[in-house]
Structure 1
Amino acid sequence: MLGVVTDVMEAAAVQRPLFGGAFFALLPHSVQDVSDLREIPDNQEVFAHMHTDQSIIVELLEYQGGMTDPDAARHHFEDVATSNDAQGKAEIVSVEPLPLAQLALSSCSSAWTLTGHQLVSKFNEQAQNTVTIYMALFRMAQYSTDLLVTFNDPVAIE
């Protein structure tokens, strides 16, 4: 997921510390740490490309027990849709498992990807932008944590 690169988000990557150095991620050098511009909650790291509105958000969230792993991915997508005021204008395209053998993060019990679309208004504007949402959910029950990585890719900006 963090390796997703578009034409605008250049291929050259830089290792960036997350959550005070607890994690590291390779991110395109063309993204800016949004915490340099505005306050970000302690459980999030947000990076954005200033010209394309593409963004990568890494969140430490409460583990969603009592539901299947695919349902947990759907739950987090719906939570993002609510935060984006995209309720009723959000669609899930696919939810698929990630093979644990292919991950460097060895402490997760399961990992899932979700792809979807949302119609989102930015800064209370009337116009709605079509955004493709790519999510990777890393479930860590032993820490009561779901690690969620979201890549927002605006495909049609009004």
Structure 2
Amino acid sequence: MPRHAFESTPLFGGAIVVDLPSNFADVSKLRQVPDNQEVYIDKDGFTSIIVDITERVGPAGGGLEKDGRALTTHLEELVGDDADTVKVWNTTETQLSLLPEGIPAYTLIATQTPRAASEESRQRNAAPDFTALILTLVRLEKENTDILITINVPHIKGEYDEEDVDLALGKQGELIGDAVEYAARIWETFNVKDWNLFNEV
């Protein structure tokens, strides 16, 4: 029995439809979001889900090696200057059930730990102890497009049980566990209704 309620959510004007947690809100109703992005945030927490349509990176042709490099490139672009504070825990090939067969997709789980800020400035900014990322990359070679689905899970002191989380021991804790459930539901329900979307971006 899933712990969360989901609802079918149209993205990019309905060109993509996917189940997202029903307690997540569309950020574009609050502030400007780039046209190639959809951002949803947990109304009761700090987790966000971002779907990003970007130009394909790397050479033509697939395979784990090329796609793995593309995944790394996207991760580095996501975290920017903080790349040296990121640890990737695992990378797996992923099947998005409703996409045409043969479309490669990969998912990695990583954590990004902010550089040691002084305790005082951390409290002021409520900077997370660390942020977990579940990043799924879908490679649409024909469309020359990469779709990135990122679930950002900030872990803020006092908002999670520190003893529950030790990725080195495989202990994900509740927040990452939830995010893994969101990701699994996204892989099952992510559906492209209008492939012309990728000609426009």
Q: Same fold (TM over 0.5)?
A: yes
1:18 counterpart residue number: 11
Q: 1:70 to 1:21 in 2, by over 3 A?
A: same
Does the CA contact (< 8 Å) of 1:73 and 1:95 recur in 2? Answer: no
The TM-score normalised by the length of structure 2 is: 0.65
Separation of aligned partners in 1, 2:53 and 2:27: 17
Counterpart for residue 155 of structure 1 = 155
- Kindly indicate which of the two structures has a greater share of residues assigned to strand: 1
Q: For 2:103, which of 85, 90, 109 is the aligned residue?
A: 109
Q: Which residue of 1 aligns with 2:82?
A: 86
- Would you say the 8 A contact 2:93–2:107 is kept in 1? yes
Matched position secondary structure for 1:60: strand
Segments of 5+ residues of structure 2 without an aligned counterpart are: 60-64, 159-201
Change in Cα spacing, 1:81 to 1:37, as seen in structure 2 (3 Å) is same
Trace 1:1-158 onto structure 2 (pairs within 5 A). 11-66=4-59, 68-82=66-80, 85-99=81-95, 103-106=97-100, 109-120=103-114, 126-127=121-122, 128-129=127-128, 130-157=130-157
Query: Which protein, 1 or 2, shows the higher relative CO under an 8 Å CA cutoff with sep ≥ 6?
Result: 2
Contact 1:115–1:134 (CA under 8 A) maintained in structure 2: yes
Sequence identity (%): 31
Offset, 1:126: 4.2
Counterpart of 1:143, as a letter, is: E
Give me the TM-score of the superposition, normalised by structure 1.
Answer: 0.81
5+ unaligned residues in a row in structure 1: which ranges?
none
Which has the higher Rg, Structure 1 or Structure 2? Answer: 2
Per-residue deviation at 1:108? Answer: 6.1
Query: 1:39 aligns to what SS in structure 2?
Result: coil
How many residues align? The count is 143
- SS of alignment partner, residue 137 of structure 1: strand
Q: Is the 8 A contact 2:23 2:44 kept in 1?
A: no
Kept after mapping to 2: 8 A contact 1:133/1:151? yes
Tell me by how many angstroms 1:157 deviates. 4.1
CA RMSD of aligned residues (A): 2.3
Higher helix share: 2
Task: Determine the C-alpha separation between the residues in 2 that align with 1:119 and 1:46.
Answer: 22
